[in-house]
Amino acid sequence: MRESIEVVIIGSGPAGLTLANLLQRAGVGCVVLERQSRTYVEQRQRAGVLEHDGARLFEEWGLGESVLAGTTAGGMLEIRLDGQPRFFDVAALAGGRAGRIVPQQVLVGRLIEAFLAGGGDLRFEAAEVTPHGLDGSAPTVTYRDTAGVVHEIACAYVAGCDGFHGVSRASVPEGALTTYTYEHGYGWLTVLADAPAPYHPLFGIHPAGFAAQFARGPGASRFYLECAPGADVGEWGDERIWEQLRLRLGDAGLPTGPITEKLFVEMRCFVADPMRYGRLFLVGDAAHIITPMGGKGMNLAIADAGVLARGLRAALREGDERPLAAYSETCLKRVWDHQEFSRWMGEMMHEAGNATLAGPFRRQLARARLERLFSSDAAARAFADLMA
Ligand code: APR
């Protein structure tokens, strides 16, 4: 079957769904092709905080009500150093710019609903999605539907929103992109549990290693535990997890609950430059991955989608190609800024606790860096600005 549309979006994660909704609002025709089922996409639990700028983006495009209704503002952090709590008011220090607590699966579910309610074309279980002719003026994307029918969609532009392992970046010829990779030298075990959420996002710095607890809805928490890179999840039985969390978070009475997911997170970063090849634009994880420290992954994906939507609207509706031409440069500025922040924060949170990671001298430096956040207004504001 042959069809034609202005933009084909590959992938329906936070990046693809944000872009689809914004293009719909701009009156730009698009179709979204997703490999997984709707249920799978709506149940995938990952990020949990939408930055202030992300919330503003949805509001500016008239999606504030449908996407953010009923979500709560998050502005305070707790950092527990050797079991001693300290509170950091991000929202106040960032001039009132508070993020919103929105579990990714809630955001994704709402974006799907909003897009479909507006008459959007979202095709799940699309197999063998393949872009063609990206370096020419008339690209196409082919895929096979669940009935085995092969579709070919002609388009003006392709948006690669298919994550780190997707087909979009893999379709770019070798050598056309410069890629940067960085390993942080420690691993994280992430645990999802039906345990009461903490009042504020909680970071624990302790000689036994870093730990954290974040809300994922009122009755669920995501925990993180520093572990050796390449650690085996099998070595982390439930009892060991709770014992280490109690120790590192300095809370002997930490409420527990059934563990619903245990995963090893690779603390790896990746950036592709440029985030474009011909008529293909790479968006979100397809172009860059970042560690969860600082909560920037989903927010970078949403920010990219905002820049691309404005560029496509200008190119297709106003005949102005300049914002689209600047897409990669505009996004990469933010990507590198947040990579630096995430690395800076990760180094501080890990090295201030575990002296075996970087040695006792670096441990003292990391503690001085942390101390500065509570003693210097300028340092606190700089941190809050990046966090918000
Ligand atoms: N064909 C079609 N769809 C695909 C293909 C393919 N070949 N490969 C992957 N996909 C789909 C995946 O099934 C997924 O739904 O693309 C989507 C990519 O979504 P994400 O991996 O969530 O990437 P993105 O939208 O960029 O969001 C990135 O969100 O969860 C946070 O912190 C996380 O950094 C991450 C951010």
Ligand 1 center to 112 CA (angstroms)? 14
In the structure, what pLDDT confidence band is assigned to residue 166 with cuts at 50, 70 and 90?
very high
Contact 286, 11 (CB under 8 A): yes
* Residues recorded for the chain: 388
Contact 386, 348 (CB under 8 A): no
Is residue 294 in contact with ligand 1, taking CB distance under 6 Å?
A: no
pLDDT of residue 348: 96
Reply yes or no on whether the pLDDT at 89 is more than 90.
Answer: yes
Reply yes or no on whether the pLDDT at 307 is more than 90.
Answer: yes
pLDDT of residue 218: 75
pTM over cut 0.85: yes
Amino acid code (one letter) for 384: A
Tens digit of pLDDT for each residue in 30-47? 999 999 999 999 998 888
Is residue 108 in contact with ligand 1, taking CB distance under 6 Å?
A: no
Reply yes or no on whether the pLDDT at 101 is more than 90.
Answer: no
Select from 50, 162, 268, 283 the residue to mutate for testing ligand 1; criterion: most ligand atoms less than 8 Å from CB. 162
In the structure, what pLDDT confidence band is assigned to residue 215 with cuts at 50, 70 and 90?
confident
pLDDT of residue 216: 82
Architecture of domain 184-267+358-387: 2-Layer Sandwich (3.30)
Q: How far apart are CA 323 and CA 327, in angstroms?
A: 6
384: tokens are 């809050």
Is residue 166 in contact with ligand 1, taking CB distance under 6 Å?
A: yes
Tens digit of pLDDT for each residue in 356-365? 888 999 999 9
Select from 19, 34, 145, 331 the residue to mutate for testing ligand 1; criterion: most ligand atoms less than 8 Å from CB. 34
The least confident of 222-231, 330-339, 343-352 is 222-231
Mean pLDDT of all residues belonging to the chain: 95
333 CB-near residues (< 8 Å, 6+ apart): none
Distances (CA, A) of 356 to 176, 247, 345, 351: 40, 17, 18, 8
As a whole number, mean pLDDT of residues 318-335 equals 98
Ligand 1 center to 10 CA (angstroms)? 9
Q: At what angle do helices 360-375 and 327-351 cross, to 10 degrees?
A: 110
Is residue 33 in contact with ligand 1, taking CB distance under 6 Å?
A: yes
Amino acid code (one letter) for 196: P
pLDDT of residue 91: 92
Q: What's the DSSP call for residue 274?
A: S
Reply yes or no on whether the pLDDT at 235 is more than 80.
Answer: yes
For the CA atoms of 82, 98, 111, 315, the dihedral, rounded to the nearest 10 degrees, stands at -120
Tokens 């102005």 locate to 320
Tens digit of pLDDT for each residue in 238-268? 999 999 999 999 999 999 999 999 999 888 9
pLDDT of residue 34: 98
As a whole number, mean pLDDT of residues 278-298 equals 96
Higher pLDDT among residues 99 and 140, named by residue: 140
Is residue 12 in contact with ligand 1, taking CB distance under 6 Å?
A: yes
321: tokens are 């190609």
Tens digit of pLDDT for each residue in 337-350? 999 999 999 999 99
Domain ranges for the chain, please list them.
2-78+96-179+269-341, 184-267+358-387
As a whole number, mean pLDDT of residues 82-87 equals 93
pLDDT of residue 98: 86
Q: Which atom of ligand 1 is nearest to the CA of 127?
A: 1
As a whole number, mean pLDDT of residues 290-298 equals 93
- State the CATH class of domain 2-78+96-179+269-341: alpha beta
Q: Where are the alpha helices (DSSP H) in 98-205?
A: 104-117, 167-170
Ligand 1 center to 161 CA (angstroms)? 6
Is residue 366 in contact with ligand 1, taking CB distance under 6 Å?
A: no
Share of the chain above pLDDT 70, in %: 100
Neighbours of 62 (CB within 10 A): 12
Neighbours of 42 (CB within 10 A): 16
pLDDT of residue 355: 82
Q: Which atom of ligand 1 is nearest to the CA of 16?
A: 25
